[in-house]
Amino acid sequence: MLVQSRARLRFISIPPRKMRLIADAVKGMPVEKALNILSFSPRIAAHHVAKTIKSAAANALSVEGTDNLKPEDLIIKSIFVDNAPTAKRIRFQSMGRVFRIRKRHCHLTVMVEGDLVAEAPKRKKTAKKAEAQDSDEQTKTTTTKTDGARSTAKKSGTRKSGTKKTATNKSAPKTSTTKKTTAKKSAVRKTTARKSG
């Protein structure tokens, strides 16, 4: 997806003809290469063009962000140099004559475009997948908690029932043994009473 942004510098006190010489030399280049060329140009118009290109690139990066758009991918799509109002001045000459001086100005417009990084939609998908995984983990933890509670309840029930069974089992033989011992004691008493009698 192409992203475009622009910057405009108005009322520059340079004639449009001189500005177009620099603008045409840089048109269609990557931003970094154009700035390198302009930094070594001796013309004063190169300073204004470089400043406007930097502003257009900063506008693109501020809108899209450095995660989605890289400065190396920006290209100068077009540069427009338009006429601005001309300032009229006079120069006095001999014999009462006056010569007209025209100080020409121009407007400079720079259009910059660049491709968005292709990894941006993948990150959104991974974020959605991460959210889905988090929800799955939460459901798993809740199910494990409920299963653990059920298993602990079953274990506690078996322990209680086991203790009751053991108590009843222990109490049952005790009662039978006590009955047997009392019966033996009574039989021994009877036999001793017979022998003595």
Task: Give residue-wise pLDDT tens across range 122-133.
Answer: 455 566 666 777
DSSP string of the chain? -EEEEEEEEEEESS-HHHHHHHHHHHTTSBHHHHHHHHHT--STHHHHHHHHHHHHHHHHHHHH-TTT--GGG-EEEEEEEEEEEEEEEEEE-GGG-EEEEEEEEEEEEEEEEEEPPTTHHHHHHHHHHHHHHHHHHHHHHHHHHHHHHHHHHHHHHHHHHHHHHHHHHHHHHHHHHHHHHHHHHHHHHHHHHHHH-
Task: Give residue-wise pLDDT tens across range 82-139.
Answer: 999 999 999 999 999 999 999 999 999 999 999 988 754 445 556 666 677 777 777 6
For domain 2-91+99-118, is the CATH number 3.90.470.10?
Answer: yes
User: Is this model's pTM higher than 0.85 or not?
Assistant: no
